[in-house]
Structure 1
Amino acid sequence: MPERIQCEFHLLRYVPDAVKNEFVNIGVMLREAGRTETTRVRFTRDWSRVRCMDPDADTALLEAMEGELAARVRDGGSGSKPVLQMLEESLSTSVQMTESRGALAESVPAEMEQLMRLYVEPMRERVVRRKSGRAGIAAQMRSTFERAGVWELMRKRIAASQYTRPGDPLKIDCGYRPNGVIRMFQAVSLEGDLEAAKVLAYSADRLRAGVRRVEDASLDLAAVVEPLRGVVEGSGEAEDRYRFGVETMEEQGLRVLTVAQLAGAAETARKELRV
């Protein structure tokens, strides 16, 4: 039996009203004991309980905070003081962190999954409506990269405008730079409207030129789509639309991956990021 790793974790809680002191657990911060560089941060992907407690909650800000926290704990000092300061500066008392608790883990990624199930998303056992379309693809993409331990090392919601021109509204879901290439991944659903596929294909050349100009790197842009069998239900028209979307993107030099191929991309990311 492999030796277990001594870990420390904090729960992150959303507290909309300090007087009532009611809270919802929204995330976990986990690290190997005494090793700040191993710290991982993960927030929930289901904000329904937060909205139930506080209908006016700024969940977009909370989502952005996950990436900011992860970057802060990777780059900033030892112990939890920098994190506490960032919490106070960012959201005052609306997000609080519990005292450190100990845990014995088989691995840090496996322990993160377990802690999220135990403390943050205990209702997962209930039957919930399955996400479909772009939201479903994006959720699978995130889960796959999380299991590989690379999600927190990736850039999220990458603004195309920094590479194309001001005003470009396109945001790329995630990406990373292992060496002289930047790999980006965008969830694209081919179930219905193909506008997203056409927008991404249209933007590909400008993105490549911009990445070369700004980052001095080449761009590997991948569109992640649902498998053909998930779209086609005995409809030749649906299959034609699906193939049109794939071919339109491939003609512009995009890699098109189905969600079934994400594990391979995540394994490549794990090796390139040396996780």
Structure 2
Amino acid sequence: MSERMQCEFSLIRYVPDVVKGEFANIGVVLREAGHPEAVVRFTRDWSRVRCMDAEADVALLESLEAELGARLETAPQLNAKPVLEVLEDSLSNSVQITAMRATLAENLPAEMEQLMRMYVEPLKAPATRRKTSGRAAIVGTMREEFESAGVWRLMHKRISAAQYTQAGDPLKLDCGYRNGKVRMFHAVSLESDAEGAKGLAYSAAALRAGVQRVEGIELELTAVVEPFARISDPEQYGFGISVMEHEAIRVLTVSDLGRVAETAKRELRA
């Protein structure tokens, strides 16, 4: 039997109401004891957070995973505990990090899986109860495909349109990267919210002009929608496609995401 590694881990918690003190564990930071390098992983299932706080900004919480990982990578010479304390100070009170605890592990990947199951991931419910739909389902599939290609961590997330259009613009594009062009991707559900297609179409021209002005290169804007086979209202679906394509928005379905992710991998040399 191989000797087990001595490790340390912290839990990352979402605390929507500090006074009540209720929380949901959303991630784990793990390192081998005596080693400065640490790894971080967040949940992919935000049902607990949404149950506690229906208005929770899940996309923003997701972006913290990349930020936390990047900060840990850029300070490898420091002990992990002070690094986490600095991060906790820099984040709002709604995201907290616990003190480190000891654990024994066969290896770091296996231990991370075990800790996520024990402390973070919700109990599996029947598929009919856990099924997501609409924009959330498209965003989830988009992230999964880019993660599988190894490029999600290299991409910008929740890109503020205001930096390219005008102050106060609330639109935030789901993700994107730069390689010869600025390529942005945004999920639009034509089953549950065709208004999203109109909103993106309305913003397209100003976004395109703003990217040219600020970045000096062309914007390629892509909307990702459900396949036609999943749609109950063909007229609404056709309308949404039409208004976006009229504004030179490239429209793809989730079925195209594997190919899109491979293109991103090649262009980002991931």
Alignment pair present for 1:269 and 2:264: yes
The answer as to whether partners of 1:225 and 1:259 remain within 8 angstroms in 2 is yes
Distance in 2, matches of 1:210 and 1:259, equals 27
Compared with structure 1, are the counterparts of its residues 85 and 209 closer, same or farther at alpha carbon in structure 2 (3 Å cutoff)?
A: same
Distance in 2, matches of 1:274 and 1:35, equals 28
Superposed counterparts of 1:196-275, under 5 Å: 196-232=196-232, 238-275=233-270
Compared with structure 1, are the counterparts of its residues 215 and 161 closer, same or farther at alpha carbon in structure 2 (3 Å cutoff)?
A: same
Tell me the secondary structure at the aligned position of residue 123 of structure 2.
helix
- Amino acid in structure 1 at the alignment position of 2:130: R
Distance in 2, matches of 1:181 and 1:123, equals 42
The answer as to whether partners of 1:9 and 1:103 remain within 8 angstroms in 2 is no
The alignment of Structure 1 onto Structure 2 pairs a total of residues equal to 257
Gaps of 5+ in 1: 1-5, 233-237
**CA deviation digits over 1:181-211, x for unaligned, max 9?**
2211101011144221122122212111111
Tell me the secondary structure at the aligned position of residue 138 of structure 1.
helix
27-36 or 217-226, which moves further after superposition?
A: 27-36
**CA deviation digits over 1:101-160, x for unaligned, max 9?**
65547xx7x997776455421513544331111122112212222232322222211110
Distance in 1, matches of 2:192 and 2:49, equals 30
- Amino acid in structure 1 at the alignment position of 2:71: R
**Residue of structure 1 in register with 2:149 after alignment:** 148
- Amino acid in structure 2 at the alignment position of 1:241: Q
Alignment pair present for 1:165 and 2:166: yes
The answer as to whether partners of 1:32 and 1:39 remain within 8 angstroms in 2 is no
- Amino acid in structure 2 at the alignment position of 1:247: S
Gaps of 5+ in 2: none
Compared with structure 1, are the counterparts of its residues 89 and 169 closer, same or farther at alpha carbon in structure 2 (3 Å cutoff)?
A: closer
**Residue of structure 1 in register with 2:97 after alignment:** 95
The answer as to whether partners of 2:50 and 2:56 remain within 8 angstroms in 1 is no
**CA deviation digits over 1:61-108, x for unaligned, max 9?**
744533431332344444524343112332568322634765547xx7
Alignment pair present for 1:175 and 2:186: no
Distance in 1, matches of 2:146 and 2:57, equals 22
- Amino acid in structure 1 at the alignment position of 2:268: L
The answer as to whether partners of 2:8 and 2:102 remain within 8 angstroms in 1 is yes
The answer as to whether partners of 1:47 and 1:59 remain within 8 angstroms in 2 is no
Instruction: Report the TM-score when normalising by structure 1.
Output: 0.74
Compared with structure 1, are the counterparts of its residues 59 and 211 closer, same or farther at alpha carbon in structure 2 (3 Å cutoff)?
A: closer
Compared with structure 1, are the counterparts of its residues 56 and 201 closer, same or farther at alpha carbon in structure 2 (3 Å cutoff)?
A: closer
Q: What is the RMSD computed on CA atoms of the aligned residues? A: 3.8
Compared with structure 1, are the counterparts of its residues 66 and 97 closer, same or farther at alpha carbon in structure 2 (3 Å cutoff)?
A: farther
Distance in 2, matches of 1:267 and 1:63, equals 22
Compared with structure 1, are the counterparts of its residues 63 and 197 closer, same or farther at alpha carbon in structure 2 (3 Å cutoff)?
A: same
Compared with structure 1, are the counterparts of its residues 239 and 171 closer, same or farther at alpha carbon in structure 2 (3 Å cutoff)?
A: same
Distance in 1, matches of 2:98 and 2:225, equals 37
Distance in 2, matches of 1:100 and 1:210, equals 50
Distance in 1, matches of 2:113 and 2:261, equals 17
Tell me the secondary structure at the aligned position of residue 167 of structure 1.
coil
Percent identity (aligned): 46
Distance in 1, matches of 2:228 and 2:62, equals 31
**Residue of structure 1 in register with 2:72 after alignment:** 73
